[in-house]
């Protein structure tokens, strides 16, 4: 049984927390769990309902096949979707029974009357695309971004003390960008990590991030999740982001609407939409070096550029930018000279890995469509491989004919 106590709000050393205690008999854990924000947003924290704490624990409950007891109310709309849609949807990729019980002290519909429209500001490709598209005059006023956010809820890892360091290292550029856009920046952190040890953030990240949004339902009327794939690439295989367009709208409450942004754009289309943007050229941050460092792989931290240009995320992004013809515009944030010197090998790598997932295949197909030069050595190897295969088949047929004659 998972038990979630009634949440309450506290001021600790000028930071403000909404806190509960969560225990799991299967995990043998009982821990104080919280969401923390700054004084500016303290009045927007929600302790009237336990929505923000219940959502992440649905994954734990499904994994362990535990029932959940909530000693507080849940928003009525969310409770309905948990019972009828969310648990079933989450159970599909986990391959588990979804019929677990979620009991609470009641379901209510509080009227918080929020007005803000929020969007995450990680400064990655998905983030920039969502922000640019929803700040423009073409976006209806009621859907236009009013607040940017930066959350530390597990993307850097589950050890909160370590993740705080990497989170704060990335903050200066996020702050500068928000200031330049004239938008307030909402900072929030959570310590849910102990319940997600060994779980890849790809499998829980969207849910944990949107749960954090629900801890601020008094602030956000609408909130954009920057989608990592289109609906065309919808699947239950690679990670939660690949079926976010189905799942995340179910998390909406009567106060806060969750919207999955850019479901109609591939990663290449999103990259193309930002390459001529001076802010993206100055602030783009796609590198995995901090995430890798938190997992013990610190080799990428030695490179001075914001984006190491060596990890696969950097190379995918810069290769796309190069195909689009904007490489030199990103000299400030990538090691462009390294990329140019090693371009042939990077391209070969993508050709070799084109069938691994839709991201690799998308970049490969983009190279073909644009007539991007593929190193000749790879073509020669393909020809050799074809002839080897052809000759092997001929030899096999000759052997079969020979054997059948005797």
Whether residue 401 is predicted with pLDDT greater than 60 in this model: the reply is no
What integer is the mean pLDDT of 301-306? 87
**For residue 280, is it within any domain?**
no
**For residue 290, is it within any domain?**
yes
pLDDT at 386: 56
pLDDT at 288: 87
pLDDT tens-digit map of 30-63? 999 999 999 999 999 999 999 999 999 999 999 9
State whether 211 and 345 are in the same domain: no
pLDDT tens-digit map of 381-390? 555 555 566 5
State whether 119 and 217 are in the same domain: yes
**For residue 362, is it within any domain?**
yes
pLDDT at 141: 95
pLDDT at 381: 52
Whether residue 406 is predicted with pLDDT greater than 50 in this model: the reply is no
Whether residue 108 is predicted with pLDDT greater than 90 in this model: the reply is yes
pLDDT tens-digit map of 317-349? 999 999 999 999 999 999 999 999 999 999 998
What integer is the mean pLDDT of 112-138? 96
Q: Lowest-confidence range among 114-118, 256-260, 352-356?
A: 352-356
State whether 183 and 329 are in the same domain: no
Containing structural domain, residue 122: 2-261
CA atoms within 13 A on the CB side of 15: 12
Separation of alpha carbons 128 and 280, rounded Å: 7
**For residue 394, is it within any domain?**
no
Give how many domains the chain has, as a whole number: 2
């Amino acid at each position: 049984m998972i038990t979630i106590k009634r949440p309450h709000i506290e001021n600790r050393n000028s930071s403000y927390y909404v806190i509960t205690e969560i225990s799991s008999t299967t995990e043998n854990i009982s821990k104080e769990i919280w969401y923390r924000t700054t004084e500016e947003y303290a009045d927007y924290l929600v302790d009237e309902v336990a929505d923000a704490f219940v959502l992440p624990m649905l994954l734990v409950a499904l994994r362990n096949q535990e029932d959940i007891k909530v000693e507080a109310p849940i928003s009525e709309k969310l409770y309905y979707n948990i019972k009828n849609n969310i648990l079933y949807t989450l159970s599909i990729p986990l391959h588990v029974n979804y019929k677990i019980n979620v009991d609470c002290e009641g379901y209510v519909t509080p009227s918080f009357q929020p007005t803000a429209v929020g969007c995450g500001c990680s400064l990655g490709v998905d983030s920039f695309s969502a922000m640019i598209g929803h700040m423009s005059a073409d976006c209806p006023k009621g859907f236009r971004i009013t607040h940017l956010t930066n959350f530390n809820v597990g993307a850097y890892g589950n050890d909160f003390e370590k993740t705080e360091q990497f989170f704060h290292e990335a903050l200066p550029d996020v702050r500068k960008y928000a200031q330049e856009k004239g938008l307030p920046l909402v900072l929030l952190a959570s310590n849910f990590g102990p319940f997600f040890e060994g779980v890849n953030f790809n499998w829980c990240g969207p849910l944990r991030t949107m749960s954090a949004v629900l801890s601020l339902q008094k602030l956000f009327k609408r909130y954009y999740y920057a989608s990592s794939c289109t609906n065309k690439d919808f699947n239950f295989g690679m990670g939660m982001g690949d079926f976010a367009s189905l799942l995340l709208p179910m998390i909406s409450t009567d106060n806060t609407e969750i919207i999955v942004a850019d479901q109609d754009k591939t990663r290449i289309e999103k990259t193309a939409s930002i390459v001529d943007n001076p802010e993206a050229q100055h602030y783009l941050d796609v590198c995995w070096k901090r995430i890798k460092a938190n997992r013990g792989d610190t080799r990428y931290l030695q490179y001075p550029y914001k984006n190491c240009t060596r990890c696969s995320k950097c190379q995918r992004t810069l290769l796309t930018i190069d195909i689009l013809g904007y490489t030199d515009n990103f000299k400030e944030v990538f090691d462009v000279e390294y990329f140019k010197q090693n371009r042939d090998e990077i391209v070969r790598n993508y050709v070799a890995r084109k069938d691994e997932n839709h991201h690799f295949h998308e970049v490969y197909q983009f190279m073909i469509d644009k007539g991007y030069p593929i190193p000749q050595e790879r073509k020669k190897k393909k020809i050799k491989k074809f002839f080897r295969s052809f000759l092997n088949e001929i030899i096999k047929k000759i052997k079969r004919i020979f054997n059948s004659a005797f």
